[in-house]
Structure 1
Amino acid sequence: MDHPSLPKSFKGNTELLFWADLITGYVVVKAGLSLGAQAVAENYEECVFRRFGASEVIRHDREPGSMADFFRLFNRIVKMRQSPTMAYRLKGNGKEERTVQTLTRALKMYVTDVNQQDWDD
């Protein structure tokens, strides 16, 4: 799970949430307004849980939004483990970080090149 910030779209979205399956490389992306723990949990439920069921483990950066009490509670309810990467071990989440970097770079080039604001369609 990761989330880059982009310029504001016509719909008002500024954030992207990425979920990537580390085995298959399948990526799910969702545009949103907020990245609070409530929004992350709701987006996970809508984009991942409804399609594929509960994940066994969610690996993420050590950010306040993904470490919040609400998200921990959500993980307990669906019996899922959180696995934050170590701050000093950059390769701990390398495959996902590379995927996010590639997709973000492509989107940012699209958005800034022609000043597009429909990137979330």
Structure 2
Amino acid sequence: MVQQITQGIKVAVQTRFEGSFYTDHKKQYAFSYIVEIENQGDVEVQLTSRYWLIKDALNYTEIVEGPGVIGLQPVIEPGQKHTYNSGCVLMAPFGSMQGHYVMVSKDREFKVSIPLFRLNAPFAMN
């Protein structure tokens, strides 16, 4: 698990290799991840958007951005957590993801870093 705290918001990520499959005669690798966002500050925040930079070992890069996470724009009260599951598919057995969330509090908008985390198929680590 990797974690990082930005302006009182802790982001922790845990990954899992889900398996490989073929699409159009190309092997692909599926990964899931669990993100836990904890508000360690003293005011409520709302997650309004996300930005992901996804890279694989073949130098393929994808940027994913948009409103909220998995269709939600959660409000996170002080001392509370929001957890969600998601996933991605890579063309190589290992890669990485990182990015940021845009949060809004009562008086400002700010970015919260999503730390770089590795996506590794177990057999690719030897």
Tell me the TM-score range normalised by the shorter chain.
Answer: under 0.3
- Higher gyration radius (CA): 2
Flag the structure with higher helix content: 1
Which structure has greater strand proportion?
2
TM value normalised by structure 1: 0.27
TM-score normalised by L of structure 2: 0.27
